[in-house]
Amino acid sequence: MPLVPIERIKIGLNRRKIKQDKVDKLMESIETSGLLNPITIDGDFNLIAGLHRLTAFKQLGLEKINCNIVNYLTAHHARLAEIDENLIRNELKPLERSQLWLEREQLLDNLGLRAKAGDNQYTRNGHSSRNHSCPNNNGNGGEMVTRPPKTTQELAKEVGYSERSFQLGKQIAKDITPAIQELIKDTPLAESTTELVKIARVGSKERVSAQKAEHASQLAQAKGLQQEAEEQAQIAIEFRAKQQELQMKALESAIAQREAKLVLKKTQASSSSEFCDSLTPTVMKKGEKWYLGRHLVYCGDTTSKEFINLLPANADLAIGSPSEYWEHDYLVDKARIVAVLRSMGTVYNFCKCQQMPFQYELIIGNLYVGIFSRESIPKPQTPINIDGVEGIVNYLLHVYTNPNSFVIAQFIGYGEVLVACERLKRICFTGDINSQSVNRSIARWQNLRE
């Protein structure tokens, strides 16, 4: 097994990110037992397999490494070998695996090794012009084998997954825009096939329209119709941008749901301690305002000038729950977005009676959430799977605010918004005419801080 100077080995640009914990384990193993599995390079010293092993050698300060040297007909064949190595040896997240599946299939198609729609076993085996020779990777680069084109079922079997899983994986890699895939890579969503498929299906109409425009542009270009080609190309760009915008909203919504559920679990786990002193009396009385850390709590009528004058003029979000006392249309002038929680079937009447500009409604659990704003806000495109007011509040904070954002809650309720703002580092302005609700919510906040 030849020893090759590490400095001569070339690493391609499309390599996966290094996992340092894996490198650390390999360094321990190499120091103890040596390199048990040599890396693989081609005749031009391009790395085919073994990036983590090579990195471990570099970090150990070693200058040479054992290599298998394999000659390939083309760069496509070399990349196929590299992909197969990754699929076999590495623990891949669904997003990484999907990207490799799609690239592998595209390479096979370029080499004529991918069966076309309508092919059968006779046309595939009998059409010699469609068959290509590949090296057998025995190191001498001389012996060749002929491979017939492969069907989707055969490709799925090769990578060890069902045909349905394989198709879903390709949909993820093909239909999620590259920019959104990059954003997903470092999030927990990269490990969830279900969430990835949901995002991939968002903006499907825009994607199809973009593809049609791109095809029309190519046809016009071939006919020498330059102006039409440019117009269709611009249309395609606009549809792609819209698809990406919708998928960005879907990504933000998915992350918000995941984080809201985590916060909700923590809230539920500590709910007994938070409520244990809920009836402890406080000295806050009507007409008073208290500062709880960075938050402001007012005990009194939240439609009064006294309360309104306490509010910031640039809040990111106001969360309301209408009642017979609703006179809070002013919220749309105080916050960029107003989210109004209503029971099923009552949003329409509420919108009809108020002067706030309605954007859209969300169905979350058994509640309708009306979103009001003076600016246009894209609606989340994927279903929202959150239960309970606590979960909904956390979701809304994740989607529409950032740390240090101002948040208004015109009814304090059980302190859901106040507690969520404390946990998520937002700044809450809230109040209620019911002093018992105010005191109970302050007790929750105090228990959370202790």
Report which secondary-structure segment, H or E, holds 429.
strand 427-432
Give the tens place of pLDDT for each residue, 24-58: 989 998 888 888 888 888 888 888 888 888 999 99
Between 266 and 8, residue with greater pLDDT: 8
Q: Would residue 123 count as lying in a domain?
A: no
Range of the domain at 340: 272-449
Distance CA 255, CA 261 (A): 10
Q: Would residue 187 count as lying in a domain?
A: no
Residue 126's contacts (CB-CB under 8 Å, 6 or more residues apart) are none
Q: Would residue 15 count as lying in a domain?
A: no
Give the tens place of pLDDT for each residue, 345-381: 566 667 777 788 889 888 887 788 889 999 988 888 7
Average pLDDT over residues 390-412: 91
What single-letter amino acid sits at 374?
R
Average pLDDT of the residues of the chain: 82
pLDDT value of residue 129: 40
Q: Would residue 228 count as lying in a domain?
A: no
Tell which residue, 203, 204, 207, 213, has the closest CA to residue 235. Answer: 213
Angle among Cα 444, 446, 447 to the nearest 5 degrees reads: 65
pLDDT value of residue 15: 66
For the cut 70, the answer to whether the pLDDT of residue 445 exceeds it is: yes
Distances (CA, A) of 290 to 26, 178, 282, 304, 365: 57, 49, 11, 17, 33
Distance CA 439, CA 282 (A): 6
Query: Based on the structure, what is the number of domains in the chain?
Result: 1
Q: Would residue 71 count as lying in a domain?
A: no
Structural tokens at position 203:
């903006």
Q: Would residue 46 count as lying in a domain?
A: no
Q: Would residue 31 count as lying in a domain?
A: no
Angle among Cα 160, 163, 167 to the nearest 5 degrees reads: 110
Give the tens place of pLDDT for each residue, 246-287: 999 889 888 888 877 776 666 555 544 444 344 444 567 888
Q: Would residue 255 count as lying in a domain?
A: no
For the cut 80, the answer to whether the pLDDT of residue 343 exceeds it is: no
For the cut 70, the answer to whether the pLDDT of residue 138 exceeds it is: no
> Domain with 420 in it: what CATH number?
3.40.50.150
pTM, full prediction: 0.60
Q: What percent of the chain has pLDDT over 90?
A: 33
Give the tens place of pLDDT for each residue, 173-214: 999 999 999 999 888 899 899 999 999 999 999 999 999 999
Strand arrangement, sheet containing 289-292: 289-292, 295-299, 427-432, 406-409, 315-320, 335-343, 367-372, 358-364
